[in-house]
Amino acid sequence: MIKISPSILSADFAKLGDEIKSVDSADYLHFDVMDGVFVPNISVGIPVLESVRKATDMILDVHLMIASPSKYTARFANAGSDIVVFHVEAETAEATRTAINELHELGKKAGLSIKPATGVQALEPYMELLDLVLVMTVEPGFGGQKFMSDMLPKIVQLREIIDKRGLDCEIEVDGGINSETAKLCIEAGANVLVAGSDIFGAADRAARIAELRSL
Ligand code: DX5
Ligand code: ZN
């Protein structure tokens, strides 16, 4: 089943509660955290996540684009995340394992993400531990960028690893997703599609979510 995760980075933050209601037919809600260090942009953090948690029952898919994420994963978990995804490039191997285990102990799902320049081999040692892998299909930091089709082979590789090893791990894609690029990602083996500008820019957001899900 294809799942859709609208990214609130493209929402109007002055009316965030209403913006979330407008996409609540989706499967997850994607919450992008940027620190201005790991990526060249700053977005929102823990206090906003706590408010979002109170405003919706949606599954909160929190994407940490921050340096030293293991220092914060438990705090984001306790602030209301359901799934916490952080970048493999941002942590040591030891801290990565500790953070994943800690998330599981807190009853949360754990995911790891790779930037466009990072290969699938960076995820390999952790695959058995993960509930989700996130393949960035743009350079993380901004919404509204163009999809990088050269990321598709990474999705194919991950799908092969997951199926061969019989793992229960979702493959999420993030960046430049619209009905055209979503199709390519699904064909490559992705099952969770993050979309910011495509969904929030649509006149009928629920219809766009249904359309992306049924590709
Ligand atoms: C980018 C973020 C994305 C972003 C996607 O670094 O991780 O989640 O909101 O935006 P679109 O769908 O507009 O490319
Ligand atoms: Zn994201």
The predicted-structure confidence for 68-117, as pLDDT tens digits, reads as follows 999 999 999 999 999 999 999 999 999 999 999 999 999 999 999 999 99
- Report how far residue 173's alpha carbon sits from residue 185's, in angstroms, rounded to the nearest whole number: 7
**Which residue is catalytic, options 32, 35, 61, 198?**
32
Q: Is 177 left (phi over 0), alpha (psi -120 to 50) or beta?
A: beta
- Sequence-separated (6 or more) residues with CB below 8 Å from residue 56: 20, 21, 24, 29
30 lines ligand 1 (CB under 6 A): yes
- Report how far residue 196's alpha carbon sits from residue 9's, in angstroms, rounded to the nearest whole number: 6
Nearest CA to ligand 1 atom 6: 140
Q: pLDDT for 1-57, tens place per residue?
A: 999 999 999 999 999 999 999 999 999 999 999 999 999 999 999 999 999 999 999
Q: How remote is the CA of residue 180 from the centroid of ligand 2, in Å?
A: 19
Is this prediction's pTM over 0.95?
A: yes
Judge contact between 118 and 107, C-beta under 8 A.
no
Judge contact between 112 and 131, C-beta under 8 A.
no
Q: How confident is the model at residue 166 (pLDDT cuts 50, 70, 90)?
A: very high
Judge contact between 185 and 193, C-beta under 8 A.
yes
Q: Is 150 annotated in the active site?
A: no
- What per-residue confidence (pLDDT) applies to 42? 98
- Report how far residue 123's alpha carbon sits from residue 81's, in angstroms, rounded to the nearest whole number: 22
Q: Is 35 annotated in the active site?
A: no
Judge contact between 33 and 65, C-beta under 8 A.
yes
- Report how far residue 116's alpha carbon sits from residue 134's, in angstroms, rounded to the nearest whole number: 11
Q: How remote is the CA of residue 93 from the centroid of ligand 2, in Å?
A: 22
171 lines ligand 1 (CB under 6 A): no
Q: What angle is formed at CA 115 by the lines to CA 73 and CA 95, rounded to 5 degrees?
A: 35
Q: Is the dihedral of CA 53, 143, 109, 102 positive or negative?
A: negative
For ligand 1, what atom is nearest to the CA of residue 147?
A: 14
- What per-residue confidence (pLDDT) applies to 20? 98
- What per-residue confidence (pLDDT) applies to 89? 98
Q: How confident is the model at residue 144 (pLDDT cuts 50, 70, 90)?
A: very high
If you average pLDDT over every residue of the chain, what do you get?
Answer: 98
- Report how far residue 151's alpha carbon sits from residue 135's, in angstroms, rounded to the nearest whole number: 8
Q: Can you say how many angstroms the Cα of residue 19 is from the centroid of all Cα atoms in its chain?
A: 18
- What per-residue confidence (pLDDT) applies to 51? 98
- Report how far residue 200's alpha carbon sits from residue 81's, in angstroms, rounded to the nearest whole number: 21
For ligand 1, what atom is nearest to the CA of residue 30?
A: 8
